[in-house]
Structure 1
Amino acid sequence: MPLYKTLTPNSQTTVKIWKITETYDDLLEPISLKPENMKRVLGMKSELHQRGFLSVRHLLLEFGYTDDDLFYDEYGKPHLKDGKHISITHSFTFSGVVVSDGIVGIDIEKQREKIGVIAHKFMDYEYQYLDQSDDKYINKLIVIWCIKESLYKLFATPGLSFLQNTLVIPFTLEEASTHAWIDYQDKKYRFDTTFFEFEGFTCAYALPS
Protein backbone atom coordinates (compact mmCIF):
# COMPACT_ATOMS: atom_id res chain seq x y z
CA MET A 1 0.00 0.00 0.00
CA PRO A 2 1.25 3.51 -0.64
CA LEU A 3 1.42 6.21 2.02
CA TYR A 4 -1.39 5.88 4.58
CA LYS A 5 -1.43 9.35 6.13
CA THR A 6 0.49 12.64 6.03
CA LEU A 7 0.21 15.32 8.73
CA THR A 8 1.83 18.74 8.91
CA PRO A 9 1.78 19.97 12.54
CA ASN A 10 3.62 23.15 11.53
CA SER A 11 5.63 24.56 8.64
CA GLN A 12 8.81 22.89 9.89
CA THR A 13 7.40 19.43 10.69
CA THR A 14 5.87 16.59 8.66
CA VAL A 15 4.56 13.22 9.86
CA LYS A 16 4.07 10.31 7.48
CA ILE A 17 2.44 6.96 8.29
CA TRP A 18 2.75 3.76 6.20
CA LYS A 19 0.37 0.81 6.31
CA ILE A 20 2.44 -2.31 5.69
CA THR A 21 0.46 -4.52 3.31
CA GLU A 22 3.29 -5.41 0.92
CA THR A 23 5.32 -8.60 1.00
CA TYR A 24 8.94 -8.58 2.07
CA ASP A 25 10.07 -8.95 -1.57
CA ASP A 26 7.81 -6.14 -2.78
CA LEU A 27 9.20 -3.80 -0.12
CA LEU A 28 12.82 -4.75 -0.76
CA GLU A 29 12.85 -4.61 -4.56
CA PRO A 30 12.55 -0.81 -5.14
CA ILE A 31 14.99 0.37 -2.46
CA SER A 32 18.75 0.33 -1.92
CA LEU A 33 20.17 -0.50 1.49
CA LYS A 34 23.63 0.10 2.91
CA PRO A 35 25.50 -3.21 3.26
CA GLU A 36 25.28 -3.13 7.07
CA ASN A 37 21.51 -2.57 6.90
CA MET A 38 21.04 -5.33 4.37
CA LYS A 39 22.89 -7.63 6.76
CA ARG A 40 20.69 -6.39 9.59
CA VAL A 41 17.49 -7.12 7.66
CA LEU A 42 18.64 -10.60 6.68
CA GLY A 43 19.46 -11.31 10.34
CA MET A 44 15.97 -10.48 11.58
CA LYS A 45 14.09 -13.60 12.62
CA SER A 46 10.63 -12.08 12.14
CA GLU A 47 9.35 -11.15 8.69
CA LEU A 48 7.09 -8.62 10.41
CA HIS A 49 10.19 -6.83 11.71
CA GLN A 50 11.83 -7.05 8.29
CA ARG A 51 8.80 -5.49 6.63
CA GLY A 52 8.64 -2.80 9.31
CA PHE A 53 12.29 -1.91 8.75
CA LEU A 54 11.85 -1.78 4.99
CA SER A 55 8.64 0.26 5.18
CA VAL A 56 10.56 2.93 7.09
CA ARG A 57 12.95 3.16 4.12
CA HIS A 58 9.95 3.74 1.87
CA LEU A 59 8.86 6.55 4.17
CA LEU A 60 12.35 8.03 3.90
CA LEU A 61 11.89 8.05 0.12
CA GLU A 62 8.61 9.92 0.59
CA PHE A 63 10.65 12.62 2.33
CA GLY A 64 13.26 12.59 -0.43
CA TYR A 65 15.87 10.66 1.57
CA THR A 66 17.59 7.33 1.04
CA ASP A 67 18.90 4.75 3.48
CA ASP A 68 22.32 6.35 3.12
CA ASP A 69 21.01 9.67 4.50
CA LEU A 70 20.14 8.05 7.84
CA PHE A 71 22.54 7.19 10.64
CA TYR A 72 22.35 6.40 14.35
CA ASP A 73 24.35 7.80 17.25
CA GLU A 74 25.84 5.90 20.20
CA TYR A 75 22.50 6.02 22.02
CA GLY A 76 20.57 4.56 19.10
CA LYS A 77 18.92 7.84 18.13
CA PRO A 78 18.42 8.32 14.37
CA HIS A 79 19.82 11.37 12.58
CA LEU A 80 19.76 12.75 9.04
CA LYS A 81 22.91 13.90 7.30
CA ASP A 82 21.34 17.24 6.33
CA GLY A 83 20.87 18.16 10.01
CA LYS A 84 17.11 17.86 10.15
CA HIS A 85 15.66 15.96 13.10
CA ILE A 86 13.95 12.60 12.63
CA SER A 87 12.08 10.08 14.74
CA ILE A 88 11.00 6.60 13.64
CA THR A 89 8.47 4.06 14.86
CA HIS A 90 6.85 0.84 13.71
CA SER A 91 4.34 -1.49 15.31
CA PHE A 92 2.99 -4.60 13.62
CA THR A 93 1.46 -3.37 10.33
CA PHE A 94 2.13 0.37 10.64
CA SER A 95 5.25 2.49 10.59
CA GLY A 96 5.78 6.20 11.00
CA VAL A 97 8.46 8.82 10.44
CA VAL A 98 8.47 12.46 11.50
CA VAL A 99 10.98 14.98 10.17
CA SER A 100 11.36 18.44 11.66
CA ASP A 101 13.70 21.39 11.93
CA GLY A 102 13.69 20.87 15.73
CA ILE A 103 13.80 17.91 18.10
CA VAL A 104 10.85 15.59 17.70
CA GLY A 105 9.62 12.16 18.80
CA ILE A 106 6.96 9.76 17.51
CA ASP A 107 5.49 6.42 18.58
CA ILE A 108 2.85 4.02 17.26
CA GLU A 109 1.41 1.24 19.40
CA LYS A 110 -1.17 -1.47 18.82
CA GLN A 111 -4.09 -1.08 21.22
CA ARG A 112 -3.95 -4.07 23.58
CA GLU A 113 -5.50 -4.70 26.97
CA LYS A 114 -2.23 -5.96 28.46
CA ILE A 115 -0.96 -2.39 28.78
CA GLY A 116 -3.06 -2.24 31.94
CA VAL A 117 -0.79 -4.83 33.56
CA ILE A 118 2.32 -2.65 33.22
CA ALA A 119 0.68 0.77 33.76
CA HIS A 120 2.27 1.13 37.21
CA LYS A 121 5.69 0.89 35.60
CA PHE A 122 5.31 4.02 33.48
CA MET A 123 2.70 6.13 35.31
CA ASP A 124 2.46 7.90 38.65
CA TYR A 125 0.98 11.41 38.44
CA GLU A 126 -1.44 10.31 35.69
CA TYR A 127 -3.35 8.05 38.11
CA GLN A 128 -4.71 11.24 39.69
CA TYR A 129 -6.94 11.94 36.70
CA LEU A 130 -7.54 8.51 35.16
CA ASP A 131 -10.67 6.52 35.98
CA GLN A 132 -10.17 2.76 35.70
CA SER A 133 -13.93 2.27 35.25
CA ASP A 134 -13.86 4.46 32.13
CA ASP A 135 -14.55 2.32 29.05
CA LYS A 136 -11.76 4.25 27.33
CA TYR A 137 -9.26 3.63 30.13
CA ILE A 138 -7.06 1.32 28.03
CA ASN A 139 -7.11 3.78 25.12
CA LYS A 140 -5.93 6.54 27.45
CA LEU A 141 -3.16 4.35 28.86
CA ILE A 142 -1.90 3.73 25.35
CA VAL A 143 -1.98 7.46 24.57
CA ILE A 144 0.12 8.11 27.69
CA TRP A 145 2.57 5.36 26.77
CA CYS A 146 2.91 6.69 23.21
CA ILE A 147 3.49 10.23 24.46
CA LYS A 148 6.12 9.10 26.96
CA GLU A 149 7.83 6.94 24.37
CA SER A 150 7.93 9.97 22.05
CA LEU A 151 9.50 12.05 24.82
CA TYR A 152 12.06 9.32 25.48
CA LYS A 153 13.02 9.20 21.82
CA LEU A 154 13.48 12.93 21.40
CA PHE A 155 15.33 13.40 24.70
CA ALA A 156 17.64 10.44 24.02
CA THR A 157 19.28 10.57 27.42
CA PRO A 158 20.43 7.41 29.23
CA GLY A 159 18.72 6.97 32.56
CA LEU A 160 15.53 8.88 31.71
CA SER A 161 12.64 7.14 33.49
CA PHE A 162 9.06 7.13 32.19
CA LEU A 163 7.90 6.78 35.79
CA GLN A 164 10.12 9.33 37.51
CA ASN A 165 10.99 11.88 34.82
CA THR A 166 7.92 12.26 32.58
CA LEU A 167 4.32 13.29 33.09
CA VAL A 168 1.34 13.88 30.83
CA ILE A 169 -1.17 16.62 31.58
CA PRO A 170 -4.90 15.60 31.77
CA PHE A 171 -6.57 15.16 28.38
CA THR A 172 -9.61 13.76 26.61
CA LEU A 173 -9.46 11.54 23.55
CA GLU A 174 -11.59 14.09 21.72
CA GLU A 175 -9.05 16.87 22.29
CA ALA A 176 -6.38 14.79 20.56
CA SER A 177 -3.61 16.88 22.12
CA THR A 178 -2.11 17.75 25.48
CA HIS A 179 1.09 18.96 27.09
CA ALA A 180 3.75 16.77 28.62
CA TRP A 181 6.81 17.44 30.73
CA ILE A 182 10.24 15.99 31.23
CA ASP A 183 11.65 16.72 34.69
CA TYR A 184 15.29 15.67 34.62
CA GLN A 185 18.24 16.69 36.78
CA ASP A 186 16.49 19.76 38.22
CA LYS A 187 15.43 21.03 34.79
CA LYS A 188 11.91 21.00 33.35
CA TYR A 189 11.10 20.76 29.65
CA ARG A 190 7.59 21.29 28.23
CA PHE A 191 6.30 19.68 25.05
CA ASP A 192 3.23 19.91 22.84
CA THR A 193 1.90 16.44 22.10
CA THR A 194 -0.67 15.28 19.57
CA PHE A 195 -2.27 11.86 19.31
CA PHE A 196 -4.78 10.00 17.14
CA GLU A 197 -6.27 6.52 16.77
CA PHE A 198 -6.66 4.46 13.62
CA GLU A 199 -7.47 0.83 12.83
CA GLY A 200 -6.78 -0.38 16.36
CA PHE A 201 -3.54 1.59 16.74
CA THR A 202 -2.54 4.80 18.51
CA CYS A 203 0.06 7.32 17.35
CA ALA A 204 1.50 10.23 19.30
CA TYR A 205 4.19 12.74 18.51
CA ALA A 206 5.88 15.40 20.62
CA LEU A 207 7.45 18.76 19.82
CA PRO A 208 8.96 21.41 22.10
CA SER A 209 6.41 23.98 23.30
Structure 2
Amino acid sequence: MPLHSIRPLPGGAYLGLWHLLETPAELWPQLAAADAYAPLLPARADGPRQAQWLAGRVLVQRMLAATALSDVLLPLQNDATGRPFLAGAGPVPAVSLSHSGAWVAALLAPSGTAVGVDVEVVRDKAQRIAHKFLNYDELTAIKPFITPDATTDNELFSLLWSAKETLYKLAGQRGLIFRQNLLLDLPPGPWPAAGELPARLALGSAISRHCICYFQPAAGYVLTYCHGASS
Protein backbone atom coordinates (compact mmCIF):
# COMPACT_ATOMS: atom_id res chain seq x y z
CA MET A 1 0.00 0.00 0.00
CA PRO A 2 2.33 2.76 -1.22
CA LEU A 3 0.95 5.83 0.49
CA HIS A 4 4.06 7.96 0.16
CA SER A 5 3.27 10.92 2.42
CA ILE A 6 0.69 13.31 3.85
CA ARG A 7 2.34 16.67 4.41
CA PRO A 8 0.75 19.47 6.49
CA LEU A 9 0.89 22.90 4.85
CA PRO A 10 0.27 26.43 6.16
CA GLY A 11 -3.36 27.42 6.51
CA GLY A 12 -4.60 23.98 7.50
CA ALA A 13 -4.03 22.38 4.07
CA TYR A 14 -2.48 18.98 3.34
CA LEU A 15 -0.55 17.60 0.38
CA GLY A 16 -0.79 13.85 -0.18
CA LEU A 17 1.34 11.67 -2.47
CA TRP A 18 0.73 8.11 -3.61
CA HIS A 19 3.44 6.09 -5.39
CA LEU A 20 1.36 3.96 -7.70
CA LEU A 21 2.51 0.34 -7.89
CA GLU A 22 -0.86 -1.46 -7.73
CA THR A 23 -3.21 -2.75 -10.38
CA PRO A 24 -6.90 -1.74 -10.37
CA ALA A 25 -7.76 -5.14 -8.88
CA GLU A 26 -5.47 -4.40 -5.94
CA LEU A 27 -6.86 -0.89 -5.41
CA TRP A 28 -10.59 -1.61 -5.44
CA PRO A 29 -10.53 -3.41 -2.04
CA GLN A 30 -8.73 -0.42 -0.50
CA LEU A 31 -11.52 1.97 -1.51
CA ALA A 32 -14.28 2.45 1.06
CA ALA A 33 -17.80 2.41 -0.44
CA ALA A 34 -16.40 0.90 -3.63
CA ASP A 35 -19.90 0.05 -4.91
CA ALA A 36 -20.75 3.75 -5.00
CA TYR A 37 -17.60 4.54 -7.00
CA ALA A 38 -18.00 1.80 -9.61
CA PRO A 39 -20.56 3.76 -11.72
CA LEU A 40 -18.30 6.84 -11.62
CA LEU A 41 -15.28 5.14 -13.19
CA PRO A 42 -14.60 6.76 -16.59
CA ALA A 43 -15.83 4.42 -19.30
CA ARG A 44 -12.74 4.80 -21.50
CA ALA A 45 -10.16 4.42 -18.75
CA ASP A 46 -7.70 1.62 -19.54
CA GLY A 47 -5.84 -0.35 -16.88
CA PRO A 48 -3.20 2.28 -16.00
CA ARG A 49 -5.75 5.12 -16.02
CA GLN A 50 -8.12 3.09 -13.87
CA ALA A 51 -5.29 2.57 -11.39
CA GLN A 52 -4.54 6.32 -11.32
CA TRP A 53 -8.23 7.15 -10.88
CA LEU A 54 -8.65 4.65 -8.06
CA ALA A 55 -5.42 5.62 -6.31
CA GLY A 56 -6.55 9.25 -6.27
CA ARG A 57 -9.74 8.33 -4.46
CA VAL A 58 -7.99 6.00 -2.03
CA LEU A 59 -5.46 8.76 -1.33
CA VAL A 60 -8.19 11.32 -0.57
CA GLN A 61 -9.89 8.84 1.77
CA ARG A 62 -6.62 8.24 3.61
CA MET A 63 -6.05 11.98 3.92
CA LEU A 64 -9.54 12.60 5.28
CA ALA A 65 -9.02 9.86 7.85
CA ALA A 66 -5.61 11.20 8.88
CA THR A 67 -6.47 14.90 9.17
CA ALA A 68 -8.97 17.07 11.02
CA LEU A 69 -10.56 18.48 7.87
CA SER A 70 -13.64 16.27 8.15
CA ASP A 71 -15.01 13.88 10.75
CA VAL A 72 -16.89 11.84 8.14
CA LEU A 73 -15.78 9.99 4.99
CA LEU A 74 -17.01 12.23 2.19
CA PRO A 75 -17.52 10.84 -1.33
CA LEU A 76 -15.38 12.31 -4.10
CA GLN A 77 -17.28 13.30 -7.24
CA ASN A 78 -16.70 15.40 -10.36
CA ASP A 79 -18.72 18.41 -11.48
CA ALA A 80 -19.86 19.12 -15.06
CA THR A 81 -16.43 20.52 -15.97
CA GLY A 82 -14.61 17.47 -14.61
CA ARG A 83 -13.28 19.14 -11.47
CA PRO A 84 -13.27 16.91 -8.36
CA PHE A 85 -15.21 17.91 -5.28
CA LEU A 86 -16.14 16.33 -1.97
CA ALA A 87 -19.90 15.95 -1.64
CA GLY A 88 -21.60 16.48 1.69
CA ALA A 89 -23.86 18.70 3.75
CA GLY A 90 -22.47 21.96 5.04
CA PRO A 91 -18.90 23.19 4.51
CA VAL A 92 -16.65 20.51 3.04
CA PRO A 93 -12.90 20.56 2.37
CA ALA A 94 -11.63 21.84 -0.97
CA VAL A 95 -9.80 19.25 -3.08
CA SER A 96 -7.55 19.11 -6.13
CA LEU A 97 -6.19 15.95 -7.76
CA SER A 98 -3.50 15.12 -10.30
CA HIS A 99 -1.80 12.01 -11.63
CA SER A 100 0.96 11.27 -14.09
CA GLY A 101 2.87 8.07 -14.60
CA ALA A 102 3.48 6.39 -11.25
CA TRP A 103 2.54 9.36 -9.05
CA VAL A 104 -0.79 10.61 -7.76
CA ALA A 105 -1.12 13.86 -5.81
CA ALA A 106 -3.99 15.37 -3.82
CA LEU A 107 -4.35 18.73 -2.11
CA LEU A 108 -6.95 19.20 0.61
CA ALA A 109 -7.71 22.49 2.32
CA PRO A 110 -10.42 24.01 4.52
CA SER A 111 -13.74 24.82 2.90
CA GLY A 112 -13.70 27.87 0.65
CA THR A 113 -9.98 27.69 -0.11
CA ALA A 114 -8.87 27.85 -3.75
CA VAL A 115 -6.62 24.84 -4.43
CA GLY A 116 -4.55 23.49 -7.29
CA VAL A 117 -2.03 20.67 -7.63
CA ASP A 118 -0.32 19.15 -10.66
CA VAL A 119 2.24 16.39 -11.13
CA GLU A 120 3.94 15.76 -14.47
CA VAL A 121 6.30 13.26 -16.02
CA VAL A 122 9.24 15.23 -17.42
CA ARG A 123 9.20 14.98 -21.20
CA ASP A 124 9.91 17.09 -24.27
CA LYS A 125 6.29 17.93 -25.10
CA ALA A 126 6.18 21.01 -22.85
CA GLN A 127 9.14 22.55 -24.65
CA ARG A 128 7.61 21.83 -28.05
CA ILE A 129 4.39 23.68 -27.16
CA ALA A 130 5.97 26.37 -24.98
CA HIS A 131 4.83 29.16 -27.33
CA LYS A 132 1.24 28.13 -26.66
CA PHE A 133 1.31 28.53 -22.87
CA LEU A 134 4.19 30.95 -22.16
CA ASN A 135 3.96 34.62 -23.10
CA TYR A 136 6.76 36.87 -24.36
CA ASP A 137 7.85 38.03 -20.90
CA GLU A 138 8.00 34.47 -19.60
CA LEU A 139 9.94 33.19 -22.58
CA THR A 140 12.36 36.09 -22.24
CA ALA A 141 12.83 35.40 -18.51
CA ILE A 142 13.85 31.77 -19.08
CA LYS A 143 16.10 32.41 -22.07
CA PRO A 144 19.27 32.53 -19.90
CA PHE A 145 18.34 29.11 -18.47
CA ILE A 146 18.22 27.31 -21.83
CA THR A 147 21.15 24.91 -22.14
CA PRO A 148 22.47 22.37 -24.62
CA ASP A 149 21.30 19.70 -22.17
CA ALA A 150 17.91 18.48 -23.39
CA THR A 151 17.15 16.81 -20.06
CA THR A 152 17.63 20.06 -18.14
CA ASP A 153 15.48 21.97 -20.61
CA ASN A 154 12.74 19.34 -20.43
CA GLU A 155 12.67 19.69 -16.65
CA LEU A 156 12.40 23.47 -16.90
CA PHE A 157 9.56 23.52 -19.41
CA SER A 158 7.71 20.68 -17.66
CA LEU A 159 7.90 22.69 -14.43
CA LEU A 160 6.47 25.79 -16.10
CA TRP A 161 3.69 23.78 -17.73
CA SER A 162 2.87 22.21 -14.37
CA ALA A 163 2.82 25.63 -12.70
CA LYS A 164 0.30 26.92 -15.22
CA GLU A 165 -1.83 23.79 -14.80
CA THR A 166 -1.89 24.45 -11.06
CA LEU A 167 -2.92 28.06 -11.69
CA TYR A 168 -5.67 26.88 -14.02
CA LYS A 169 -7.07 24.57 -11.35
CA LEU A 170 -6.77 27.31 -8.75
CA ALA A 171 -8.82 29.67 -10.94
CA GLY A 172 -11.63 27.14 -11.35
CA GLN A 173 -12.86 28.64 -14.62
CA ARG A 174 -13.19 27.28 -18.14
CA GLY A 175 -11.98 29.12 -21.21
CA LEU A 176 -8.87 30.73 -19.74
CA ILE A 177 -5.94 31.55 -22.02
CA PHE A 178 -2.72 30.32 -20.46
CA ARG A 179 -0.60 33.09 -22.02
CA GLN A 180 -2.94 35.89 -20.92
CA ASN A 181 -4.78 34.83 -17.78
CA LEU A 182 -2.20 32.62 -16.05
CA LEU A 183 0.97 34.61 -15.46
CA LEU A 184 4.32 33.60 -13.97
CA ASP A 185 6.56 36.32 -12.52
CA LEU A 186 9.71 34.26 -12.91
CA PRO A 187 12.61 35.16 -10.60
CA PRO A 188 16.21 35.40 -11.81
CA GLY A 189 18.04 32.10 -11.76
CA PRO A 190 19.46 29.74 -11.03
CA TRP A 191 16.45 28.25 -9.27
CA PRO A 192 16.75 25.71 -6.47
CA ALA A 193 15.59 22.13 -7.01
CA ALA A 194 12.60 22.92 -4.78
CA GLY A 195 11.19 26.38 -4.25
CA GLU A 196 8.48 28.89 -5.04
CA LEU A 197 7.37 30.77 -8.16
CA PRO A 198 5.40 34.04 -7.89
CA ALA A 199 2.31 34.03 -10.09
CA ARG A 200 -0.78 36.04 -10.93
CA LEU A 201 -4.29 35.23 -12.04
CA ALA A 202 -5.68 37.89 -14.38
CA LEU A 203 -9.42 37.27 -14.51
CA GLY A 204 -11.18 40.15 -16.18
CA SER A 205 -10.23 43.33 -14.32
CA ALA A 206 -9.26 41.41 -11.18
CA ILE A 207 -5.66 40.36 -10.58
CA SER A 208 -4.68 38.16 -7.65
CA ARG A 209 -1.16 37.18 -6.61
CA HIS A 210 -0.17 33.65 -5.66
CA CYS A 211 2.83 31.58 -4.70
CA ILE A 212 3.31 28.27 -6.48
CA CYS A 213 5.43 25.74 -4.61
CA TYR A 214 7.37 23.14 -6.57
CA PHE A 215 9.62 20.12 -6.03
CA GLN A 216 10.50 16.75 -7.57
CA PRO A 217 8.67 13.82 -5.93
CA ALA A 218 11.04 11.48 -7.81
CA ALA A 219 13.58 11.61 -10.60
CA GLY A 220 11.85 12.42 -13.88
CA TYR A 221 8.82 14.13 -12.28
CA VAL A 222 7.85 17.65 -11.24
CA LEU A 223 5.05 18.66 -8.88
CA THR A 224 3.50 22.08 -8.25
CA TYR A 225 0.79 23.17 -5.84
CA CYS A 226 -0.91 26.30 -4.54
CA HIS A 227 -3.72 27.06 -2.13
CA GLY A 228 -5.36 30.39 -1.45
CA ALA A 229 -4.08 33.81 -2.49
CA SER A 230 -1.08 35.61 -1.06
CA SER A 231 -2.57 39.00 -1.95
TM-score using structure 1 length:
0.90
In the other structure, the counterpart of 1:73 is: 79
> How do 1:89-168 residues align onto structure 2 when only pairs under 5 Å count?
89-101=98-110, 102-124=113-135, 125-131=137-143, 132-133=146-147, 135=149, 136-168=152-184
- Alignment check: 8 A CA contact 1:143 1:203 kept: yes
Question: Measured at CA, do residues 145 and 71 of structure 1 come closer, stay the same or move farther in structure 2, by a change above 3 Å?
Answer: same
Q: Structure 1 residue 201 and structure 2 residue 201: aligned?
A: no
> How do 1:5-16 residues align onto structure 2 when only pairs under 5 Å count?
5-16=5-16
Q: 1:57 offset after TM fit, Å?
A: 1.5
**Higher mean Cα deviation, 132-141 or 97-106?**
132-141
- Alignment check: 8 A CA contact 1:148 1:162 kept: yes
Aligned letter for 1:2? P
Classify the secondary structure of the residue corresponding to 1:97: strand
Match of 1:170 among 163, 178, 186: 186
- Alignment check: 8 A CA contact 2:23 2:48 kept: no
Q: 1:54 offset after TM fit, Å?
A: 0.6
Alpha-carbon distance between aligned partners in 1 of 2:81 and 2:45, rounded to the nearest angstrom: 23
Q: 1:67 offset after TM fit, Å?
A: 7.8
Alpha-carbon distance between aligned partners in 2 of 1:133 and 1:116, rounded to the nearest angstrom: 13
CA RMSD of aligned residues (A): 2.1
Alpha-carbon distance between aligned partners in 2 of 1:78 and 1:42, rounded to the nearest angstrom: 13
Aligned letter for 1:12? G
Q: 1:137 offset after TM fit, Å?
A: 2.5
Aligned letter for 2:169? K
Structure 1 residue ranges without an equivalent (≥5): none
- Alignment check: 8 A CA contact 2:202 2:208 kept: yes
- Alignment check: 8 A CA contact 2:194 2:215 kept: no
Alpha-carbon distance between aligned partners in 1 of 2:194 and 2:50, rounded to the nearest angstrom: 35
Q: Structure 1 residue 21 and structure 2 residue 21: aligned?
A: yes
Alpha-carbon distance between aligned partners in 2 of 1:30 and 1:175, rounded to the nearest angstrom: 32
Aligned letter for 1:69? P
Aligned length: 208
Alpha-carbon distance between aligned partners in 2 of 1:33 and 1:67, rounded to the nearest angstrom: 13
**Higher mean Cα deviation, 130-139 or 155-164?**
130-139
TM-score using structure 2 length:
0.82
- Alignment check: 8 A CA contact 1:130 1:137 kept: no
Point out the structure with the larger strand share: 1
Question: Measured at CA, do residues 62 and 25 of structure 1 come closer, stay the same or move farther in structure 2, by a change above 3 Å?
Answer: same
- Alignment check: 8 A CA contact 1:60 1:67 kept: no
Q: 1:7 offset after TM fit, Å?
A: 2.2
In the other structure, the counterpart of 1:189 is: 208
Question: Measured at CA, do residues 133 and 22 of structure 1 come closer, stay the same or move farther in structure 2, by a change above 3 Å?
Answer: same
Alpha-carbon distance between aligned partners in 2 of 1:151 and 1:143, rounded to the nearest angstrom: 12
